[in-house]
């Protein structure tokens, strides 16, 4: 087609002329359903907006007959603004989020849906409050679980009468769901799940409403289709008739929100659901270098559940991504600091992104960046010591160290809830002066003045502190021992892993009920609060189990909390989880924590495929450089745990990466030797510089090298790459000995 067609706006003509062949095909195709497989960084937003403008300008569509749906208000606003700049009247096209469209549809068909036109939309907190009005005897935390289950059921368009076993095994869920929905309908309001499910029910049950809406929307476009759930798929199906042009845009390789209800099968099965579908692949990437795209492609190619595409770029050059194998997370942090410090390029804000699987992993990076004075920002989360659960735990520790700490006392005395309300707290504080400021004693003085129930709870609260206080001796180290402890802390290595402050912090979290409380919060909200508390335990492992150690730990926390992280504009480092990187891009990406059990976390095949897609997303955020780090051991519950490198590293073809190890022989060279596996066969006696004598349990292929699993005479097991770990040596004797050490 001649893009200088008379009648088209100049901006649209320029936009059409700037499309690559795949993008142009996607914009011009109109004769059958269209699936646009848009790889990372391939310009999908440009394609959608140009297509909307093209339908209006070249094909004569009434803008009001076009419906485009996406998942965020920001994306909808950007799409609307771009389209309006390309075509006259494009601002009248309906460009909304799924939920916004559902609300629009229900309000305009309120009578048919059995709703008042002025209905309110309940959020999660409102839903829990409604359940509490039905079940006042139950705790809100318990009801929040039911609220979450009801929301998930609506994502699948399941009613109380349907089989809900896929949602939850709770036997009361159908009854609770039915009571909740009945009350919600009596009130005349809806929740967020209803904004999709009730339009589906209305369209599928009322031919008049369905016919009216199908007649209105001549073209329906869906962005980020890989993130749609079952209810959203059914809404799309119900809005389409045989004359509707339907186009979905997405990337099956970037479907990473299964935990939110996203169903990757929606995009995988689209050609089957909509016969005659044309599949157009957008494979030219405008973001990353060729070596980065080669790595990303090799990673995700292992997945079976994908339609398949190969990203390429016309950008010249690019360095090979690196795998850096380190001893522990302290070396990992030091490596990140080194990478930032030695960056010779222009120090532009946000040039380096440090990615991790869980929010809890941010803590050591935050601490190091603050102490080094390197400006950073953390995306999608609060700073570690600003997180609610961490502040709760630190408040307990502060009150343990100083019973005069009123701020800490007020925060923790009724958390988790113990029936010690604000009025009771004020009555107890009246005895502060008589107790010489000691709030522990003030509580004892006031026990007789509060209700029997509150007094019993307060006694249990005080007993926790008495027990912990008695377990916390005064510091008795001599000067030499103190120097040894300080030297160990400067190396970030606990002198004796069994004798650190971590055990006391872990005990406090258990006895106070905080671990259980925040674990329940995790189950409801899908948050990572318990992992953050575990990371606080890890931080405490650097301090001795004494009163002085506790004070030092709290002082370090206060110093880190008070240090300026720098402004967002000046930040040289971005700390972010892999999930939160979706839609973002950075000059350089460092992906940390690539160990089995951390990433990937589970062995379930479906989970593994999604974790592999998450890895792909993380890699494709980078413009110029990718570094992957894996640690041989990592602290967990204040103790070191030996770990295996992530299986994803072993899946990478050797020619696509450089492998480095400060403890070994540097980068891997060449291919795998066929004889090397025999040299490390099962039963081979070995010796390791750090772990002593052991026996090989098994050997497996890992990319270009052999990975050897060893059981040591201490009972510990570990996995090693002999090609670059020179600390592991074969020793004479013991081969095929039957495993004398195990």
- Residue extents of the structural domains in the chain: 10-108+196-284, 120-187, 300-381+568-660, 385-473+501-560, 680-730
Radius of gyration of the chain (CA): 30
Task: Please tell me if the domain spanning 300-381+568-660 has the same topology as the one spanning 385-473+501-560.
Answer: no
Adjacent-strand bridge partners of 720? 708
Query: In 570-722, where do the E strands start and end?
Result: 573-577, 586-591, 622-631, 633-636, 639-642, 658-660, 685-688, 692-702, 705-712, 717-720
Structure confidence at residue 222 (pLDDT) = 97
Q: Which of 342-346, 500-504, 617-621 has the lowest mean pLDDT?
A: 342-346
The predicted model gives 40-66 an average pLDDT of 95
Between 723 and 689, the more confident residue is 689
Say if residue 387's pLDDT is above 70.
yes
Say if residue 478's pLDDT is above 50.
no
Say if residue 250's pLDDT is above 60.
yes
Structure confidence at residue 345 (pLDDT) = 53
Q: What is the dihedral of CA 491, 493, 499, 501, to 10 degrees?
A: 80
Structure confidence at residue 218 (pLDDT) = 96
The predicted model gives 254-276 an average pLDDT of 91
- State the catalytic residue, choosing from 44, 46, 281, 383: 44
DSSP 226: G
Structure confidence at residue 678 (pLDDT) = 58
Q: What is the dihedral of CA 687, 688, 690, 691, to 10 degrees?
A: -60
Question: Average per-residue pLDDT in the chain?
Answer: 86
- State the catalytic residue, choosing from 9, 45, 265, 658: 45
Reduce the DSSP state of residue 441 to 3 states and report it. helix
Between 724 and 291, the more confident residue is 291
Say if residue 598's pLDDT is above 80.
yes
Contact 671, 704 (CB under 8 A): yes
Reduce the DSSP state of residue 97 to 3 states and report it. strand
Reduce the DSSP state of residue 70 to 3 states and report it. strand
pLDDT-based confidence at residue 665 (cuts at 50, 70, 90)? very low
CA 400 to CA 170: how far, in whole Å? 39
541 is in an annotated binding site: no
- State the catalytic residue, choosing from 57, 224, 294, 389: 224
Between 667 and 608, the more confident residue is 608
41 is in an annotated binding site: yes
- Residues 6+ positions from 19 with CB-CB distance below 8 Å: 27, 46, 47, 50
CATH ID of 10-108+196-284, from 3.40.50.300, 3.40.50.1100, 3.30.930.10, 3.40.50.2300: 3.40.50.300
Say if residue 519's pLDDT is above 90.
no
182 is catalytic: no
Q: Which of 84-88, 349-353, 368-372, 553-557 has the lowest mean pLDDT?
A: 349-353
* Cis status of the peptide bond prior to 575, with omega within 30 of 0: no
Q: Tell me the torsion sign for CA atoms 525, 530, 531, 532.
A: positive
- Phi and psi (nearest 5°) for 698? -160, 165
Q: Which of 102-116, 526-540, 692-706 has the lowest mean pLDDT?
A: 692-706
Q: Write down the number of H helices and E strands in the chain.
A: 30, 22
- Phi and psi (nearest 5°) for 199? -60, -40
Q: What angle do CA 625, 628, 633 make, to 5 degrees?
A: 155
Task: Please tell me the total number of residues recorded for the chain in this structure.
Answer: 742
Structure confidence at residue 479 (pLDDT) = 40
CA 180 to CA 36: how far, in whole Å? 40
40 is in an annotated binding site: yes
Element of type H or E holding 443: helix 439-446
Contact 532, 389 (CB under 8 A): yes
631: nearest Cα among 329, 364, 335, 359:
329
74 is in an annotated binding site: no
Structure confidence at residue 414 (pLDDT) = 92
CA 72 to CA 77: how far, in whole Å? 9
- Phi and psi (nearest 5°) for 420? -105, 90
45 is catalytic: yes
Q: Which of 188-202, 411-425, 463-477 has the lowest mean pLDDT?
A: 463-477
Structure confidence at residue 553 (pLDDT) = 92
401 is in an annotated binding site: no
507 is catalytic: no
- Return the CATH number of the domain spanning residue range 300-381+568-660: 3.40.50.300
pLDDT-based confidence at residue 682 (cuts at 50, 70, 90)? confident
Which range has highest mean pLDDT (7-16, 152-161, 379-388)? Answer: 152-161
Structure confidence at residue 666 (pLDDT) = 38
The percentage of residues in the chain with a pLDDT greater than 90, rounded to a whole number, is 62
Reduce the DSSP state of residue 363 to 3 states and report it. helix
pLDDT-based confidence at residue 526 (cuts at 50, 70, 90)? low
38 is in an annotated binding site: yes
Structure confidence at residue 191 (pLDDT) = 94
pLDDT-based confidence at residue 568 (cuts at 50, 70, 90)? low
CA 298 to CA 290: how far, in whole Å? 12
pLDDT-based confidence at residue 192 (cuts at 50, 70, 90)? very high
Element of type H or E holding 202: helix 194-205
Largest CA-CA distance found in the chain, in angstroms, rounded: 90
- Residues 6+ positions from 247 with CB-CB distance below 8 Å: 33, 34, 35, 36, 51, 219, 220, 221, 222
C-alpha 284 chain-centroid distance: 27
DSSP 63: G
- Residues 6+ positions from 311 with CB-CB distance below 8 Å: 39, 40, 41, 42, 283, 284, 285, 288, 293, 296, 297, 620
Q: Which of 60-69, 447-456, 521-530 has the lowest mean pLDDT?
A: 521-530
Say if residue 488's pLDDT is above 50.
no
Structure confidence at residue 567 (pLDDT) = 66
- Return the CATH number of the domain spanning residue range 680-730: 2.40.10
CA 177 to CA 154: how far, in whole Å? 10
Number of C-beta neighbours around residue 175 at 10 A: 12
Q: What angle do the packed helices 207-216 and 230-239 form, to 10 degrees?
A: 80
- State the catalytic residue, choosing from 223, 610, 660, 725: 223
CA 137 to CA 672: how far, in whole Å? 65
Q: Which of 34-38, 139-143, 463-467 has the lowest mean pLDDT?
A: 139-143
pLDDT-based confidence at residue 5 (cuts at 50, 70, 90)? low
Reduce the DSSP state of residue 282 to 3 states and report it. strand
The predicted model gives 197-215 an average pLDDT of 96
The predicted model gives 255-266 an average pLDDT of 88
Query: Can you state the percent helix, strand and coil of the chain, rounding each to 5?
Result: 45, 15, 40
Structure confidence at residue 635 (pLDDT) = 84
DSSP 284: B
DSSP 104-144: HHHHHTHHHHT--TT--EE-HHHHHHHHHHH-TTS-HHHHH
Name the CATH architecture for the domain at 385-473+501-560.
Answer: Orthogonal Bundle (1.10)
- State the catalytic residue, choosing from 621, 633, 634, 647: 621
Q: Tell me the torsion sign for CA atoms 7, 12, 13, 16.
A: negative
CA 669 to CA 661: how far, in whole Å? 13
CA 541 to CA 332: how far, in whole Å? 17
The predicted model gives 704-709 an average pLDDT of 70
DSSP 675: T
621 is catalytic: yes
Say if residue 670's pLDDT is above 50.
no
Structure confidence at residue 482 (pLDDT) = 45
- State the catalytic residue, choosing from 232, 254, 289, 624: 254
CA 490 to CA 543: how far, in whole Å? 11
Contact 712, 702 (CB under 8 A): no
CA 494 to CA 549: how far, in whole Å? 12
DSSP 260: G
43 is in an annotated binding site: yes
pLDDT-based confidence at residue 496 (cuts at 50, 70, 90)? very low
42 is in an annotated binding site: yes
CA 165 to CA 68: how far, in whole Å? 34
DSSP 20-79: -HHHHHHHH--SS-EEEEE-TTS-HHHHHHHHHHHHHHTT---GGGEEEEES-HHHHHHH
Which range has highest mean pLDDT (50-64, 136-150, 665-679)? Answer: 50-64
Between 453 and 642, the more confident residue is 453
Say if residue 559's pLDDT is above 60.
yes
- Residues 6+ positions from 14 with CB-CB distance below 8 Å: none
DSSP 688-707: ETTTEEEEEEEEEEETTEEE
Structure confidence at residue 604 (pLDDT) = 78
Reduce the DSSP state of residue 214 to 3 states and report it. helix
Contact 629, 592 (CB under 8 A): yes
User: How many CA atoms lie less than 13 Å away from 25 in the CB half-sphere?
Assistant: 13
């Amino acid at each position: 087609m001649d893009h200088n067609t008379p009648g088209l706006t100049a901006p649209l003509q320029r936009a059409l002329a700037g499309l690559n062949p795949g993008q142009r095909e996607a914009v011009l195709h109109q004769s059958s359903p269209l699936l646009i497989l848009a790889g990372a960084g391939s310009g999908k937003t440009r394609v959608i907006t140009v297509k909307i403008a093209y339908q209006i300008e070249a094909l004569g569509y009434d803008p009001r007959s076009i419906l485009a749906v996406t998942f965020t208000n920001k994306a909808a606003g950007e799409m609307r603004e771009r389209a309006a700049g390309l075509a006259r009247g494009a601002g009248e096209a309906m460009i909304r989020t799924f939920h916004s469209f559902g609300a629009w549809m229900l309000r305009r068909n309120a009578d048919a849906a059995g709703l008042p036109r002025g209905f309110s939309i309940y959020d999660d907190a409102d839903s829990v409050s409604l359940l509490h009005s039905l079940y006042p005897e139950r705790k809100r935390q318990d009801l929040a679980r039911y609220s979450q289950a009801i929301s998930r059921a609506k994502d699948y368009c399941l009613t109380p009468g349907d089989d809900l076993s896929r949602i939850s095994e709770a036997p009361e869920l159908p009854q609770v769901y039915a009571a909740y929905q009945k009350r919600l309908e009596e009130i005349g309001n809806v929740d967020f799940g209803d904004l999709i499910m009730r339009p589906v029910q209305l369209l599928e049950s009322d031919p008049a409403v369905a016919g009216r809406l199908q007649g209105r929307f001549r073209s329906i476009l869906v962005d980020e289709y890989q993130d749609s759930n079952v209810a959203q798929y059914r809404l799309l199906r119900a809005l389409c008739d045989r004359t509707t042009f339907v186009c979905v845009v997405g990337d099956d390789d970037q479907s990473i929100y299964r935990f939110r209800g996203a169903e990757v099968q929606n995009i995988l099965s689209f050609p089957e659901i909509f016969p005659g579908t044309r599949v157009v692949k957008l494979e030219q990437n405008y973001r990353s270098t060729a070596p980065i795209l080669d790595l990303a492609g090799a990673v995700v190619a292992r997945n079976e559940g994908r339609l398949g595409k190969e990203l390429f770029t016309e950008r010249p050059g690019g360095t090979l991504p690196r795998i850096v194998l380190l001893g522990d997370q302290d070396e990992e942090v030091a490596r990140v600091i080194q990478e930032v410090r030695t960056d010779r390029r222009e120090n532009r804000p946000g040039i380096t992104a440090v990615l991790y699987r869980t929010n809890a992993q941010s803590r050591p990076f935050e601490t190091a960046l603050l102490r080094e004075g390197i400006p950073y920002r953390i995306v999608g989360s609060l700073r570690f010591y600003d997180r609610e659960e961490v502040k709760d735990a630190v408040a307990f520790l502060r009150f343990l160290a100083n019973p005069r700490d009123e701020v800490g006392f007020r925060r923790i005395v009724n958390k988790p809830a113990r029936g010690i309300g604000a009025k009771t707290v004020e009555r107890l504080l009246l005895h502060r002066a008589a107790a010489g400021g000691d709030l522990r004693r003030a509580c004892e003085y006031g026990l007789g003045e509060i209700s029997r129930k509150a007094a019993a709870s307060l006694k249990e609260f005080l007993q926790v502190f008495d027990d912990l206080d008695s377990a916390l001796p005064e510091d008795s180290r001599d000067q030499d021992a103190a120097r040894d402890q300080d030297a160990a802390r400067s190396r970030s290595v606990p002198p004796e892993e069994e004798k650190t402050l971590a055990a006391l912090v872990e005990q406090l979290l258990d006895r106070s009920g905080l671990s259980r409380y925040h674990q329940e919060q995790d189950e409801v909200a899908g948050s990572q609060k318990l992992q953050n508390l575990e990371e606080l335990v890890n931080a405490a492992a650097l301090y001795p189990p004494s009163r002085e150690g506790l004070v030092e730990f709290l002082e370090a926390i206060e110093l880190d909390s008070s240090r300026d992280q720098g402004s967002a504009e000046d930040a040289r480092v971005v700390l972010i989880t892999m999930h939160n990187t979706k839609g973002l891009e950075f000059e350089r990406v460092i992906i940390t924590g690539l160990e089995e059990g951390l990433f990937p976390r589970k062995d379930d095949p479906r989970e593994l495929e999604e974790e592999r897609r998450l890895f792909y997303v993380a890699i494709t955020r980078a413009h110029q450089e990718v570094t992957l780090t894996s640690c041989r051991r990592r602290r967990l519950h204040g103790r070191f745990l030996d770990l295996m490198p992530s299986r994803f590293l072993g899946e990478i073809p050797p020619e696509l990466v450089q492998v480095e190890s400060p403890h070994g022989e540097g980068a891997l060279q060449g291919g795998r030797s066929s004889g090397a596996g025999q040299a490390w066969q099962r039963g081979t006696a070995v010796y390791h510089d750090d772990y002593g004598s052991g026996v090989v349990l098994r050997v497996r292929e890992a990319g270009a090298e052999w990975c050897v699993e060893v059981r040591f005479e201490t009972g510990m097991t570990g996995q090693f790459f002999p090609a670059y770990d020179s600390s592991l040596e074969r020793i004479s004797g013991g081969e095929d000995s039957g495993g004398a050490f195990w």
